[in-house]
Amino acid sequence: MSLNGKTAVITGSNSGIGLGVARALAGAGANVVLNSFTDREEDHALAAGIAEEFGVEARYIQADMSKGDQCRALIEKAGACDILVNNAGIQHVAPIDEFPVEKWDAIIAINMTSAFHTTAAALPLMRKAGWGRVINVASAHGLRASPYKAAYVTAKHGVVGMTKTVALETAKEPITVNAICPGYVLTPLVEAQIPDTAKEYDMSEDEVVEKVILAKQPSKEFATVEQIGGLAVFLCSDAAAQLTGQPIAVDGGWTAA
């Protein structure tokens, strides 16, 4: 699959799933625009490293995904957006009656509303180019609920709903809109939490992974960022041209029940 000449904008992509998707798309030949809310030398160096490794154009553009005007400015500054990957997200865990209002507002803004702004800004560019792919990184929590994650579950369900709506709006165009719904993915952030979680439960690291972290994931294996990236590349392929409006679970069987 060659994405030569295409430009992909990936929000929240200086680490974890977003970076994995950016690397996969660059590996398929796409020029990539990385993004996060920071503006550090290492952010720009990350883009430069991808450009050198894969022989594509790669840039880093700072934008705060909690602010609608900055979401839209990201697409404008990118200049082109054939592939939009809405990945930016944050999490907070608390009972709903104790859930901080500012955390609710931030999660809804970054995890859901940002995708509204970037998609609205990107679609005219895709229409002008005569081709487009919108890939929303939702979650198994966009298909199933868990306690104490009211804002996150609400936002991810909203992303799945938005995916279906925009897919219908673009169904007669060469544009597809899909959602990837990962279960637990082995990112550096998750990996760093394993030792402390093992101490908390007085278990070995292997035990805490299987019995606590992956309790809902029947495969008892993490998904990888490379697997999520591979799916994103497939969704950009001609083979996926009639695949639109779909939430695709990558969750080791979690949502099968």
* Residue 74 to residue 37: CA distance in whole angstroms: 11
At CB < 8 A and 24+ separation, what contacts does 194-197 make? none
Angle, helix 68-78 to helix 114-129, in steps of 10 degrees: 30
201 is catalytic: no
Instruction: Output b/e per residue, 195-221; b: 16+ Cβ within 10 A.
Output: eeebeeeeeeeeebbeeebbebbeeee
Residues in a beta bridge with 34: 60
Task: Please count the other Cβ atoms lying within 10 Å of the Cβ belonging to residue 38.
Answer: 11
Token reading at 10: 């990936």
Catalytic residue from among 60, 152, 184, 201: 152
Q: Which residues are catalytic?
A: 152
